Structure 1
Amino acid sequence: MFEPEELFVVESPAWTVDLSGSAVTAIDYSIDGAFVAYSNKPGIITIATSYTGEIKRVLEQKYTTNPITKIRFHPFEENLLICTSKDGFIFLYNIVKGEMVEMSRHLGSNLLAMNVDSFGETFAIACADGSIRVYDLENLQRTKVLVKMASRTSASQQVNIYDICFHPEDSNVILAAGWNDRVLYWDVRTGNAERNIAGPHIRGAGLDVHNDTIITASARDKKQIEMWDYGSGKKLREININPETAKKECYINACKVSRNGLALAAGGSGCNLTQSFEFSHGTYIGQTAPYSSPVSYVAVSPFGSSFVTGTENGDISCHMIRLKPN
């Protein structure tokens, strides 16, 4: 084993993608970490190798030119990828063949966020009307609608939902980060938001769960990254962006933890960079150089060996996390 202080971020990017002029709205690593999917052009997804950035496939379609709001590789079937667009389209692709397997569409409100459960059976979308809709992943058929209840004003989702995720061991629980500085625990069985965590000021892809720890990233200059106990909702600890190295205040827009719990990466506006931390201790391990625009999205490899940053101008870069030489 190694100590957190032995980790570092390689200063030079392993690979980069030139400015596209459009915001990077979604990034995801494949389950084995070999590939990265990203969208830096509305309606288009690029599949590249995570080691060199070599483009393997570009997924285009004729139905929408709206931004892609989320990309997720299937957790078990490596050839499948699901994505959503702002105007409600849901696409399931076979990335090996470059073919669309299934398509569906949510009508009535913009689609803001999406996530897939750990078992590859269910996914959920978050809509601009404050509702969450649950689907069967195999056929893209809706199975449940979660809508705020008037009698539950203390735990009701208002308007925008910025990010959602399933509990990794219980697909009946969906966590949702809303505009009212709360993270709600939605229960698919009851259809209600049963509990909430108050405080996190999430304004992007800033919600994650590792085991029974909820991670929130807030767009503010303090208490930026907070860890919460899933069971009790109590705050466990916090990580703040290192001000000495960032040199500017940083308002976090995006945060992600590696699947193995080794590394965390978070980036945002102000400082316009991404910093990485060893997750269990919160030890700072390195950062990117500042970008020309705010960070809009961050993804971390499943094994914590690299992370990819996307910006509002369409910049993309991949940085490796390595052990310091003896």
Structure 2
Amino acid sequence: MSGDTADTLFDFHETRLRSDSHGDVASEVSSYSRRSSLYSHFSRSKAGPFLEGNLKLFDIIELSSDVMCCRFSSDGTHLAVGMCDGTVKIYNPLTCQQLYMLQDEDTNKSRLPVTQVKFRPYVEGEKTEYSHIIIASYASGHVKFWHYTSGKCLHTVTEGRQTLALTINPEGTHILTAGSDSKIHMYDIETKQKINTMEPSDAHDVMDGHRFRVFALQYNPNHPHVFISGGWDDTIQYWDDRKVHSIKKFIGPHLCGDALDIDPVHNHILTGSWRKSHVLQ
């Protein structure tokens, strides 16, 4: 990551520290977008991008707004891109052609960033429309279930916070959301109903949950009810989604984004931290 990029991202991090209200966040995101646009213009004026090692640049997709998150579908036929203005765009990754654009009254009104996009897992024998569903979370607190080939929003969950993280369990039956508070919500994908809320206890002598914002969630691919989470409180919390409080933790990583993963073969955890040293552990 270049120094200029780091400075731009650090500005965004600082604005988030200063405010939690939706109105203030909107103005801060607008300010961030202006700074980022200047950086983007400066970057394009150079001769890059530059590649090191045995790499090949396949193509470049120019977009009208900054990209906050992106995701390939499981079969690699679609690429979902979540943008700073609240729009989700779907591309053909082979041709880089835009296929669909997802927005509605909620996203057009708030124009707050898409914080995560996930393709709903499709199992043979399910309804065919389930094969083209994306779940997206937004800094406005919305979680939207989109049928992306038709452009229809099938359902909207409204959380009273900024929703910053989203993940789906390995079976594709539940989703987890986290955000600007310390709570992690679990919803049934079929009914869209909240079925559990995981949070720390009131005890002062234990830390069985998060104390600040949560930016990353990751299920263990080999254990259907076990997941981990990380955020600003410098802990990685282990959870069982059938319980309310975390079951264990380790201290160290400072997560400010989707920087958490689990190796399905060796059961190793990978974390990325916002700091100058020990950034990848």
Instruction: State whether TM-score is above 0.5.
Output: yes
Choose between structure 1 and 2 for higher RCO, CA contacts under 8 A separated by at least 6 residues.
1
For the Cα contact (< 8 Å) 2:172–2:189, is it kept in 1? Answer: yes
1:1-326 maps to which residues of 2 (within 5 A)?
Answer: 8-10=54-56, 13-18=57-62, 20=64, 22-64=65-107, 65-76=111-122, 77-107=130-160, 109-151=161-203, 153-211=206-264, 212-226=267-281
Question: In structure 2, what is the Cα distance between the partners aligned to 1:217 and 1:97?
Answer: 36
Percent identical across equivalent pairs? 23
What is the CA distance between 1:19 and its match in structure 2? 5.2
User: Which residue identity does 2:67 align to in structure 1?
Assistant: V
Could you say what secondary structure the match of 1:63 adopts? helix
What is the CA distance between 1:17 and its match in structure 2? 2.6
Question: In structure 2, what is the Cα distance between the partners aligned to 1:8 and 1:220?
Answer: 29
Question: In structure 1, what is the Cα distance between the partners aligned to 2:63 and 2:149?
Answer: 27
Q: With the length of structure 1 as denominator, give the TM-score of the two structures.
A: 0.62
For the Cα contact (< 8 Å) 1:31–1:74, is it kept in 2? Answer: no
Question: In structure 2, what is the Cα distance between the partners aligned to 1:19 and 1:93?
Answer: 21
Question: In structure 2, what is the Cα distance between the partners aligned to 1:19 and 1:95?
Answer: 19
What is the CA distance between 1:176 and its match in structure 2? 0.8
What is the CA distance between 1:206 and its match in structure 2? 0.5
User: Which residue identity does 1:71 align to in structure 2?
Assistant: V
Question: In structure 2, what is the Cα distance between the partners aligned to 1:159 and 1:220?
Answer: 17
Higher-helix-fraction structure:
2
**Deviation >4 Å, runs of 4+:** none
For the Cα contact (< 8 Å) 1:102–1:139, is it kept in 2? Answer: no
For the Cα contact (< 8 Å) 1:30–1:78, is it kept in 2? Answer: no
Question: In structure 1, what is the Cα distance between the partners aligned to 2:198 and 2:208?
Answer: 13
Could you say what secondary structure the match of 1:78 adopts? helix
What is the CA distance between 1:121 and its match in structure 2? 0.5
Stretches of structure 1 that go unaligned for 5 or more consecutive residues are 1-6, 227-326
Question: In structure 2, what is the Cα distance between the partners aligned to 1:203 and 1:90?
Answer: 20
For the Cα contact (< 8 Å) 2:78–2:93, is it kept in 1? Answer: yes
Measured on the aligned residues, the alpha-carbon RMSD in Å equals: 1.8
Question: In structure 2, what is the Cα distance between the partners aligned to 1:72 and 1:197?
Answer: 27
Could you say what secondary structure the match of 2:207 adopts? helix
Question: In structure 2, what is the Cα distance between the partners aligned to 1:73 and 1:210?
Answer: 20
For the Cα contact (< 8 Å) 1:167–1:209, is it kept in 2? Answer: yes
Question: In structure 2, what is the Cα distance between the partners aligned to 1:225 and 1:40?
Answer: 26
What is the CA distance between 1:145 and its match in structure 2? 0.6
Could you say what secondary structure the match of 1:55 adopts? strand
For the Cα contact (< 8 Å) 2:200–2:207, is it kept in 1? Answer: no
Question: In structure 2, what is the Cα distance between the partners aligned to 1:223 and 1:24?
Answer: 26
For the Cα contact (< 8 Å) 1:123–1:134, is it kept in 2? Answer: yes
Question: In structure 1, what is the Cα distance between the partners aligned to 2:278 and 2:149?
Answer: 42
User: Which residue identity does 2:191 align to in structure 1?
Assistant: N
How many matched pairs? 216
Could you say what secondary structure the match of 2:74 adopts? coil
